[in-house]
Structure 1
Amino acid sequence: MVQPINALVIMGVCGCGKSSVSQALCQRSGAVPIEGDAFHPPENIRKMSEGVPLSDDDRDGWLNLLCDELRRAFEAGQRPVLTCSALKLRYRERLRNAVPGVGFVFLELTPEVATRRVAHRPGHFMPATLIDSQFEALEPPLDEPLTLVLDATQDVEQLAEATHTWWLEHPAS
């Protein structure tokens, strides 16, 4: 039996293309985007802007807000797509517990590519100097349920199409 996917989390380190893939996917599927970065409290943004990695404690309240947003969207009958780094298994478990049938799309890439992308991204609070800390914290979601792993160096439209096709194979309940 195919497990239904009621919500998606587009995840990975900074610079992997979460927001771009989410936008393309939502245009393609009619899903509702939830931009995880928009829920960071000012203190988290200040720390990251100054090159200070976030701790688990820093992420705690942020993850609570993201869980609440996923739940609200799901209960409103929407198909939410959340962008969130979701670097650690325990973060993903919290998101899974927020809504039944949360699927994860892991946009995988190397530290070198992530650093290059972030260094050339204008107007974002996350500096390239924090990329190493993201890879140090990353617990790749390999062999986790309802998880699709994609090469983030592919074209955004290809990534969105692969994600959309996979989601269609797991119709919402």
Structure 2
Amino acid sequence: MKTLSHRILVMGVSGSGKSHIGRQLAQTVGATFIDGDDYHSPANVAKMASGTPLNDDDRSEWLGTLAALIADYRARDASLVIACSGLKKRYRDRLRLGDSELQILYLEGTQTLLLQRLETRAGHFFKGDTMLASQLADLEPPDEKEAFNVSIALSPMQIVDQFAATLLLPTRTPS
């Protein structure tokens, strides 16, 4: 029996747990995990590290790179989980150019919870509440037709289990 492949976007603002949940989800569904942040240009990283939010122009090349990665996995019929903020609908539409059937897991949380998480995170280039406020202002949350929306107040494993249950995963037959 052929295993179904999936291309999945784990999206949300910084501090929502995209990378952590994305890694767990990839392990659960047998996919490769890619952190979209690893594909930002040095100029984008420097801009964010200085506390300056990215704009649409800054994100354009980055989104094109991620869409190409998604397309490569689709062409090989390989499973991929990619973490990317995907703040605006047009950004998600751009990523779907890589796979029109891209599945989306949207991690939503309150500003208070997100800020608490960001304050305890060490070693990341994303800085402070000004940048979070900028992301929240840019955020165009997907509706339930576009994405599986889940609260980050749940445990990472609960989130992964709930989303994995929505996928058409092959069932194992007893030996």
TM-score > 0.5, shorter chain as reference: yes
Aligned to 2:47: 47
Compare CA radii of gyration and give the structure with the larger one. Answer: 2
Deviation readout 1:108-141 (Å, 9 max, x if unpaired) = 0011111110111011000123110010000010
**Which residue does 1:78 correspond to in 2?**
78
Q: How many aligned residue pairs are there? A: 166
95-104 vs 17-26, which moves further: 95-104
Aligned pairs for 1:117-132 within 5 A? 117-129=117-129, 130-132=131-133
Aligned partners of 2:5 and 2:78 also within 8 Å: no
Matches within 5 A, 1:1-173: 6-129=6-129, 130-145=131-146, 147-168=147-168
**CA shift for structure 1 position 5:** 7.9
Instruction: Please give the per-residue CA displacement for 1:44-99, whole angstroms capped at 9, x wherever unaligned.
Output: 00010000000000000000000011111121221111100000010011111221
Query: Is the partner of 2:91 in helix, strand or coil?
Result: helix
Indicate conservation of the 8 Å contact 1:5/1:167, yes or no: no
Whether contact under 8 Å (2:105, 2:163) holds in the other structure is: yes
2:103, 2:111 → 1: CA distance?
24
Q: Distance in 2 between matches of 1:24 and 1:41?
A: 26
Identity of aligned residues (%): 34
- Inter-partner Cα distance in structure 2 for 1:29 and 1:169: 8
Paired residue for 2:173?
none
Mind listing any 5+ residue stretches in structure 1 that lack a counterpart? none
Q: Which moved more, 1:81-90 or 1:135-144?
A: 135-144
**Structure 2: gaps of 5 or more residues:** 171-175
Q: Secondary structure at the match of 1:65?
A: helix
Alignment RMSD: 1.6
Query: Is the contact made by 1:5 and 1:102 (CA closer than 8 Å) also made in structure 2?
Result: no
